[in-house]
């Protein structure tokens, strides 16, 4: 059993709780960095998608998990980040500027949207942000001079790397594990992968720093009780808008990376389904936790690969059997993914409200406290006096 002795207040301001934490995150990061040496290009591509979704969900987590504002509009911020980044790249702005600019524009629009809508709560806010997502998608398809409309917008390979590739052209090949990387074609899923890791670490730092500073505490306070947050001196409108803006900014950053991942932007890539996926990540991963975004994204990406595999297997296995025709039709029915995601959302909310990260914490606590673990450690007590709550 571990007991962390605290002797100085600084200990509570650290990014990690104890050495074990630090070692754990170190190993995780090292494993991430080493992955392209062992995995093929396909898996690096999947990992990219995982990292990008993690970043986007971390953005959404700031709004949904920390501040308690449900948003179905984050596909819009992902799209704004992606289109801005691609447009700026196309017009010769270097990668290192265009990526944050995409995030900033998304954040600015988040703030602009936030002003009128954040007076609303729960389902009403979700509907208002849903409208934002739909309107943004409409603009993407109609504003052809910038977005290319339905023809889409090709995403150029980042500038700073292509300059380098010309300057350093040697015609030589370098072998990195199973993957061949030449200077001429330096831009590959692997380069995107490493950029994603950098952005992920930054996003996690932003979220963590917020949480240990007055701003993040104000977010959490608003989530748990608006009225007492207000009487502690927290300006509701300011902090809600700030939270939404930062949330949109981080998701916008992910959008820029997403643009490279899909390499050709079209309005369809940013439909409402992306918002639902991001929300699913937050809930499945563990609402209100930074780690939850990463775990939830891994879960979603695996599930997305698993559904087509299962579809093929079932169709092949039961194809000839008359009685199983219904099953085959069922697994091949369109919209199955959405149904499965929706069902999972409900299942997690009911049976594992703390999500995968909560499950991990429970397992860890079980071993920490062995044999004294009791189930009620994580039981959530519903407070019974909420009748006179003021909004």
Q: How far is the CB of 210 from another protein (least distance, A)?
A: 6
Instruction: Return the H-helix or E-strand segment holding 154.
Output: strand 153-154
CB of 57 closer than 8 Å to CB of 281: yes
The sign of the dihedral angle between the CA atoms of 235, 238, 239, 240 is positive
CA distance 24 to 54: 18
Binding another protein (rule: CB under 8 A), the pick from 223, 240, 252, 292 is: 223
**Nearest by Cα to 102 from 202, 243, 251:** 251
Select from 4-12, 36-44, 146-154, 326-334 the region that touches another protein (CB under 8 A): 4-12
Is 375 one of the binding residues for another protein (CB under 8 A)? no
Select from 152-160, 204-212, 264-272, 304-312 the region that touches another protein (CB under 8 A): 204-212
Q: How far is the CB of 54 from another protein (least distance, A)?
A: 19
Helix (H, G, I), strand (E, B) or coil at 16: coil
Find where tokens 């944050």 sit. Answer: 100
Binding another protein (rule: CB under 8 A), the pick from 2, 19, 212, 374 is: 212
C-beta closer to another protein: residue 103 or 152: 103
C-beta closer to another protein: residue 220 or 324: 220
**Nearest by Cα to 198 from 95, 270, 87, 105:** 95
Q: How far is the CB of 348 from another protein (least distance, A)?
A: 17
Is 381 one of the binding residues for another protein (CB under 8 A)? yes
**Nearest by Cα to 237 from 248, 226, 252, 251:** 226
Q: Would you report the helix, strand and coil content of the chain in percent, each value rounded to 5?
A: 75, 5, 25
CA distance 70 to 48: 26
C-beta closer to another protein: residue 375 or 386: 386
- Collect all residues with Cβ–Cβ distance below 8 Å to 241 and sequence separation of at least 6: 111, 114, 115, 118
Is 248 one of the binding residues for another protein (CB under 8 A)? no
Q: How far is the CB of 8 from another protein (least distance, A)?
A: 9
Is 387 one of the binding residues for another protein (CB under 8 A)? yes
Cα distance from N-terminal residue to C-terminal residue, the chain: 43
Interface map 343-362 toward another protein (x if CB under 8 A): --------------------
Q: How far is the CB of 26 from another protein (least distance, A)?
A: 20
Find where tokens 């104890």 sit. Answer: 18
CA distance 261 to 158: 12
CB of 279 closer than 8 Å to CB of 64: yes
Count of chain residues binding another protein (CB under 8 A): 41
Select from 130-138, 219-227, 278-286, 358-366 the region that touches another protein (CB under 8 A): 219-227
Copy the structure tokens of residue 226.
């608006």
Binding another protein (rule: CB under 8 A), the pick from 58, 76, 206, 276 is: 206
Binding another protein (rule: CB under 8 A), the pick from 166, 172, 322, 388 is: 388
Q: How far is the CB of 260 from another protein (least distance, A)?
A: 25
C-beta closer to another protein: residue 170 or 387: 387
Is 372 one of the binding residues for another protein (CB under 8 A)? no
- Collect all residues with Cβ–Cβ distance below 8 Å to 316 and sequence separation of at least 6: none
Burial class (CB in 10 A: 0-12, 13-18, 19+), 84: buried
Q: How far is the CB of 376 from another protein (least distance, A)?
A: 9
Interface map 259-288 toward another protein (x if CB under 8 A): -----------------------------x
For the range 168-174, what are the long-range contacts, defined as Cβ-Cβ under 8 Å and sequence gap of 24 or more?
none
C-beta closer to another protein: residue 18 or 304: 18
Binding site for another protein (CB under 8 A): 9-10, 12-13, 206, 209-210, 212-218, 220-221, 223-225, 227-236, 242, 246, 288, 380-381, 383, 385-390
């Amino acid at each position: 059993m571990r007991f962390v002795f605290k002797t100085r207040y600084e200990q509570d301001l650290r990014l990690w709780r104890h050495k074990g934490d630090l070692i754990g995150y170190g190993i995780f990061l090292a494993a991430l960095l080493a992955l392209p040496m062992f995995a093929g290009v396909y898996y690096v591509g999947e990992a990219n998608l995982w990292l990008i979704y993690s970043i986007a969900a971390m953005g959404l987590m700031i709004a949904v998990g920390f501040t308690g504002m449900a948003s179905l509009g984050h596909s819009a911020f992902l799209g704004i980040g992606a289109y801005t980044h691609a447009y700026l790249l196309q017009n010769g702005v270097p990668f290192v500027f265009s990526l944050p600019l995409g995030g900033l524009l998304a954040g600015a629009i988040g703030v602009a949207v936030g002003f009128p809508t954040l007076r609303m709560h729960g389902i009403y806010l979700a509907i208002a942000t849903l409208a934002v997502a739909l309107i943004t998608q409409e603009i993407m398809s109609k504003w052809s001079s910038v977005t290319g409309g339905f023809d889409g917008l090709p995403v150029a390979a980042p500038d700073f790397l292509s300059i380098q590739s010309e300057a350093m052209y040697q015609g030589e090949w370098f072998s990195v594990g199973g993957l061949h990387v030449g200077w001429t074609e330096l831009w590959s899923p692997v380069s995107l992968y490493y950029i994603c890791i950098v952005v992920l670490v930054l996003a996690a730092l932003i979220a963590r720093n917020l949480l240990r500073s007055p701003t993040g505490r104000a977010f959490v306070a608003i989530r748990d009780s608006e009225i007492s947050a207000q009487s502690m001196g927290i300006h509701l409108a300011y902090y809600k808008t700030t939270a939404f803006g930062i949330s949109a900014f981080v998701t916008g950053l992910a959008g820029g990376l997403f643009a490279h991942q899909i390499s050709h932007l079209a309005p369809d890539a940013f439909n409402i389904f992306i918002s639902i996926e991001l929300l699913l990540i937050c809930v499945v991963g563990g609402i209100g936790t930074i780690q939850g975004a990463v775990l939830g994204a891994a879960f979603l990406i695996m599930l997305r690969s698993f559904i087509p595999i299962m579809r093929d297997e079932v169709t092949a296995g039961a194809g000839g059997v008359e009685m199983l025709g219904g099953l085959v039709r069922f697994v091949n029915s369109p919209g199955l993914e959405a149904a499965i995601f929706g069902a999972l959302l409900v299942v997690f909310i009911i049976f594992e409200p703390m999500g995968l990260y909560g499950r991990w914490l429970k397992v860890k606590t079980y071993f920490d406290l062995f044999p004294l673990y009791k189930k009620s450690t994580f039981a959530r007590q519903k407070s019974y006096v909420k009748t006179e709550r003021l909004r």
